[in-house]
Structure 1
Amino acid sequence: MTIALDRPRKTKSAQIREKLGYPIIDTDVHTQEFPPAFLDYLEQVAGTALSFALAEGIAQRFQEHLPGASRSKWFKQSWDERRTYRTARPPFWTRPTNDALNLATVSLPKLLHERLQEAGTDFAVVYPNLATMAPHIGNEEMRRAVCRATNTYHADIFRSYSDRLTPIAAIPMNTPEEAIAELEYAVKVLGLKAIQIPGHVRRPIPAFEKYGEEVANEAIWIDTFGLDSKYDYDPFWAKCVELKVVPTTHSSGMGWINRRSISNYQYNHIGHFASAGEALCKSLFFGGVTHRFPTLKFAFLEGGAAWGASLYTDLIWHWDTRNKDHLVENNNPANVNYEELLEFYTRYGGELVHGRLDQLGSGLGFHADLVSPLEPGDLDEFAVAGVTKPEDIRDRFLNHFYFGTESDDTRVAQAFNRKANPYGDRVKAFLGSDSGHWDVPDITAIAANTYSMVERKIISEEDLQYFLSIHPLELYTSLNRDFFKGTAVEKTADEFLAGKLS
């Protein structure tokens, strides 16, 4: 049987691209590895950089260490075991299977490069699936080996297609030293120019480690590298600035306390990327990272932009109602006029308080223990972020954070709702299609999906250009002005840097 591989080249998306007159940049295209080829790289890394004990049989053993492998125990458990251990139902059936072309596109760079042009997409940042999982491997030697092999494999297979495709480097973040070592190798040796960090590291709560590994694996806290982190990650952020790379993240919140259904994967899936992104974003903000590194920007992939718009507004609101001066004036327990308060209780309390006014105490009810004075440093929770006025929040947020959004996510309208957003600004959403997964099987439909939001008046033509072109140009040239040099969007990037684009 002969299979016809010819296909139409003028897709609706390609026609839309011609109509737009500016490039489409997709910041989140997924691929998956060809296992035999990747295992060759892993064996090579293990043989040259690791201990013999780990190198021996690594190809057979590495899958046991993947985060997905630990979740797969759900499929082997009885329902009684799932209930006993509260094992979250993991992902299943996540690849496109009803069209061999779409499935092959996920794995073959040459085909992806070709179909990207059919789709009208000028340039894409590639997020290989293994690269998003590798930094979460628990065993340090295995984690470092898989990250190194993953980065080397993808640097090699995408090198010939760099005019339109660039893969991210997977950077483990368990310690700053580990992160810096892989970052330097990825940029200086492999020549990669885009990176992805995990949104968090799961760490055992020290007080529970004495109860054994099984308890310590469940009694964990989420380290997000900024606020309250175990380590000082400033040396890593400084290295990002030095090497001119923008940290992006594509991490999962699945399995966290409110995403731990034992029976329903969709319950666990909905909102989990946004949840993980928000945890990191708040940590970077309140931990002062955006204050100490004014040129460093961050991108959060696959969670959409609605949560970004919500968080931005929420930060402004919390400043208005919880800044230090407001608290001192309106919430300080020392402000209570006890005699006046007692008069109100006497006049209006009736039987509720009769004979018990001597037990009124401070009038703060069960919050009476908060009467004790706080240390000055404990009062101003915006201090580390360097915030002294609401405009600082605007600058720390809008100048640093970008939000990858899928082509059919109409909630992007919230990011671009300048009437509702504080100071009338856009929250910086851009196209992160998630192509290659179950929800976006066909890369040639992405531009058409996006443009339909203009046709339905969900966003404006001007918003669309920011979404598809200006925001990704802004992000990736922020540290590296040559990021798009030699690519299909080099001319537009030069015009942007010259100030010819908004």
Structure 2
Amino acid sequence: MTILKDLKAKQSRAAQLRSQLDFPVIDTDIHTNAYSPALEDYIAQYGGSRVVDVFRSHLKSNGLNALAAEWYNASPEERQNRRLFRPPFWALPSENTYDLATVALPGLLYERLEELGTDYAVLYPNLALFPINSSNDDLRLSLTRAINHFHADIYKPYADRLTPVAAIPLNTPQEGIEELEFAQKLGLKAALIPGAVRRPIQAVAEKYPEDSDLRRYAYWLDFFGIDSEYDYDPFWQKSVDLGINLSTHSGSQSWVARNSPSNYMFNHINHFADASEALAKALFFGGVTERIPQLRIALLEAGAAWGQNVLTHLVDRFEKRGNEHVQQYNPERLNRELAIELYRQYGHTLYQGRELNEQEIIESLFGVASTSRFQAQKPEEINDFALAKIQTKQDIWDRWVPNFYFGNEADDRTIVGALNPKGNPFGQKINALYSSDSGHWDVPELTEPLAETWDLVQEGAITAEDFKSLVFTNPYQFYTANNPDFFKGTQVEHKLKNNQAA
């Protein structure tokens, strides 16, 4: 008891900072753990005893998915030969017992929120990622529903300061719609979706129907936009209609360039950014953000700098290959007479002793045997920006910036590039979110993230106005974009009213 009393007596840097702010602080990303015996009652309700057994097995393997568990059960030689990627390990701040218990006990987290310098937090149960990425239909659907119901119930008494996200599976648009509707009935206001779904390559699955190992490696990633197996527009529109804005934490560990059998950090660094970039580009190039401009997605744990980088590259590529611009590379526009004449005047040392062949000259210019392969039939096969209906550079801004918000962890200094208005062709800042990622190994002390973000202001890396945008303006804008009442009855609303009265 003395230890606990001493811990509570400490005043954090974050609490001191928050007392000086005239706006609320909204943390868009705190990870929580669940008390599994209580959760099992919900799992039994929706999935029966069999799913409870699967869940217990998952916990016994320390929460590892099947691929990760394989790594631990294999010898070093097997890991190398089978290219089993080194999975995450020691993912929680175990030495800091007080903080580890905090993210597992709703009442304690609620009590300590002032100490964290936070007025309101959006919570991401660590278990939520397990079912929505499962290919087992029964397990995915029943366990997702149980987890959502469980978290809605245990956090309901703390709704003025805490809200858990709903886990939403997306193997099909319909299952996503059904879970969104169920989440709304539970009172859940935000949602977590997978960044992609692994699907079998049909030709491989048909040719080798019994070879599970081969099919495990021969898959493609469906990012729900360009080239998707389904039309996900009804799901995106449903999220807008229900006022439940979406987010993702999905990563790319085990992808081809992140498949080290021995080094977790090799696989980890920037993997969230790679996965988020793929999802966002799929929605952009697939025309989703053009057809459903109200769609809002928070791409978390990836830093914000990549969002600025992609925006800049989209403009660069469009100005060279978008719409009519791409025609400057059309082989049919080659001035054959000029090319042949230039070879006659300057290329005689190249074809000395050979008979000048005009067709060989043309083929040599392109470095291919034939130019016929370039004759695409459909406009979208020639113009990669066609589905997004990009006509001007401004259209790129309109299809990218309002739709995507980029979660940035407190000590991630790449935010400097993301908030540099000279870093993109528009001279404006993208939407970055304060996302502490508390509850994971990169936050060994819960009370430090807000203060660490303010450290960047004191060092001159970002401005005080940037800080306000990160911790309040952008999060508030994101959550209220499709649900103006998102913060109704919360500490955020209370603080804003008090500030106005003052």
In the TM superposition, residue 350 of structure 1 has moved relative to its aligned partner by 4.0
Please report how far the alpha carbon of residue 62 of structure 1 lies from its aligned counterpart in structure 2 after TM superposition. Answer: 5.4
Aligned to 1:360: 361
Q: Please name the residue that 2:221 is paired with.
A: 222
- What is the aligned partner in structure 2 of residue 324 from structure 1? 323
Question: SS at the partner of 2:289?
Answer: helix
**How far off its partner does 1:348 sit?**
2.4
Q: What letter is aligned with 2:472?
A: S
3-state SS of 1:95 partner: coil
Given residue 70 of structure 1, which amino acid in structure 2 is its aligned partner?
A: L
Taking a change above 3 Å as real, the CA distance of residues 488 and 2 of structure 1, as seen in their structure-2 partners, is closer
Q: Partner letter of residue 332 of structure 1?
A: N
SS of equivalent residue, structure 1 residue 114: helix
Inter-CA distance 425–2: structure 2 relative to 1 (3 Å threshold): closer
1:201–1:59 CA distance, 2 compared to 1 (3 A): closer
What is aligned with 1:285?
Answer: 284
Q: Report how far residue 167 of structure 1 moved.
A: 0.3
Q: What is the aligned counterpart of 1:97 among 81, 94, 97?
A: 94
Counterpart position of 1:237? 236
The counterpart of 1:163, out of the listed 157, 160, 165, is 160
**SS in structure 2 opposite 1:29?**
strand
Q: Report the alpha carbon displacement of residue 115 of structure 1 after superposing the two structures with TM.
A: 1.6
Scaled by the length of structure 1, the TM-score of the pair is 0.93
Letter in 2 for 1:10: Q
Checking the alignment, whether the CA contact within 8 Å between 1:169 and 1:194 is kept in structure 2 is yes
Q: 1:74 to 1:465 in 2, by over 3 A?
A: same
Q: Does 1:347 align with 2:345?
A: yes
Alpha-carbon separation, structure 1, partners of 2:23 and 2:291:
35
Deviation track 1:226-246 (CA, whole Å, cap 9, x = no partner) reads: 111000111111211121111
Name the residue aligned to 2:5.
5
Are 1:184 and 2:181 counterparts? yes
CA RMSD after TM alignment: 2.2
**1:86 aligned partner:** 83
CA contact (8 A) 1:253 1:272 kept: yes
Instruction: Say which SS state the counterpart of residue 227 (structure 1) adopts.
Output: coil
Counterparts in 2 of 1:444 and 1:371: CA distance versus 1, 3 Å? closer
Partner residue of 2:37?
36
| Aligned twin of 1:266 | 265
Aligned to 2:156, the other structure's residue is in SS state: helix
Deviation, 1:281, is: 0.3
Does the C-alpha gap of structure 1 residues 3 and 464 become closer, same or farther in structure 2, counting only changes over 3 Å?
A: closer
SS in 1 for 2:343: helix
8 Å Cα contact 2:380-2:387 kept in structure 1: no
Quick one: percent identity of the two aligned structures?
Answer: 45
Alpha-carbon distance in structure 2 between the residues aligned to 1:191 and 1:451: 33
1:151 aligns with 2:112: no
Q: TM-score with structure 2 length normalisation?
A: 0.93
Q: Residue 336 of structure 2: which of 335, 338, 341 is its match?
A: 338
Q: Deviations over 1:301-321 (max 9, x none)?
A: 000001111011111111111
The CA deviation string for residues 387-413 of structure 1, in whole angstroms up to 9 with x for no partner, is 111100011111111000000011111
2:429 is aligned with 1:426: yes
Partner of 1:440: 443
Task: Determine the C-alpha separation between the residues in 2 that align with 1:37 and 1:3.
Answer: 28
- Following the alignment from structure 1 to structure 2, what is the Cα–Cα distance between the partners of residues 182 and 206? 28
Q: How much does 1:488 deviate?
A: 0.6
- Between the two proteins, the alignment pairs up a number of residues equal to 491
- 1:227–1:373 Cα change, 3 Å: closer
Contact 2:43–2:52 at 8 Å: present in 1 too? no
Contact 2:227 2:286 in 1 (8 A): yes
Supply the AA of the counterpart residue of 2:402.
N
State which of 396, 401, 415 in structure 1 corresponds to 2:399: 396
Taking the aligned partners of 2:281 and 2:450, their CA distance within structure 1 comes to 31
- What amino acid is aligned across from residue 228 of structure 2 in structure 1? S
Equivalent residues of 1:473, 1:493 under 8 A apart: no
- Structure 1's unaligned 5+ residue stretches are none
The Cα of 1:78 is off from its aligned counterpart by 0.8
**Partner letter of residue 411 of structure 1?**
T
Alpha-carbon shift at residue 291 of structure 1 (Å): 0.8
Once residues 70 and 257 of structure 1 are traced to their aligned partners in structure 2, the CA distance between those partners, rounded to angstroms, is 15
Counterpart code for 2:167: A
Measured after TM superposition, the shift of residue 61 of structure 1 is: 4.6
Q: Following TM superposition, by how much is the alpha carbon of 1:474 offset from its aligned partner in structure 2, in angstroms?
A: 0.4
- 1:27 counterpart residue number: 28
SS at match of 1:163: coil
The Cα of 1:373 is off from its aligned counterpart by: 5.4
Query: What residue in structure 2 maps to residue 196 of structure 1?
Result: 192
SS in 2 for 1:413: helix
Q: Distance in 2 between matches of 1:446 and 1:335?
A: 57
Letter of the 1:5 partner, please give it: K
**1:380 counterpart = 2:383:** yes
Could you tell me how far apart the structure 1 residues matched to 2:376 and 2:383 are? 13
Instruction: Tell me how far 1:55 sits from its aligned partner.
Output: 5.1
Q: For the residues of structure 2 that align with 1:468 and 1:440, how far apart are their CA atoms?
A: 17
SS of the residue aligned with 2:27? strand
Provide the C-alpha distance between the structure 2 equivalents of 1:168 and 1:246, rounded to a whole number of angstroms.
10
Unaligned runs of 5+ in 2: none
Contact kept, 8 Å, 1:295 with 1:479, in 2: the verdict is yes
The SS at the match of 1:464 is helix
**Residue aligning to 1:76:** 73
Cα distance in structure 1, aligned partners of 2:316 and 2:497: 38
Contact 2:96-2:445 at 8 Å conserved across structures? no
Distance 1:412-1:61 versus aligned 2 partners, 3 A rule: same
Question: Relative to structure 2, which stretch is displaced further, 451-460 or 416-425?
Answer: 416-425
Cα pair 1:67 1:137 within 8 Å, conserved: no
Q: Deviations over 1:162-215 (max 9, x none)?
A: 111100000000001111111111112x11011010000000110110313221
Task: Report the CA distance between 1:361 and its aligned residue.
Answer: 3.2
Q: Work out the CA distance in 1 between the residues paired with 2:107 and 2:24.
A: 21
Asked if 2 retains the 8 angstrom alpha-carbon contact of 1:228 and 1:287, the reply is yes
Cα distance in 1, alignment partners of residues 306 and 351 from structure 2 = 45
Q: Deviations over 1:393-439 (max 9, x none)?
A: 01111111100000001111111101222211111111111111111
- Cα distance in 1 between the residues matched to 2:73 and 2:382: 50
Q: Is the 8 A contact 2:68 2:85 kept in 1?
A: yes
The answer for the alignment partner of 1:141 in structure 2 is 138
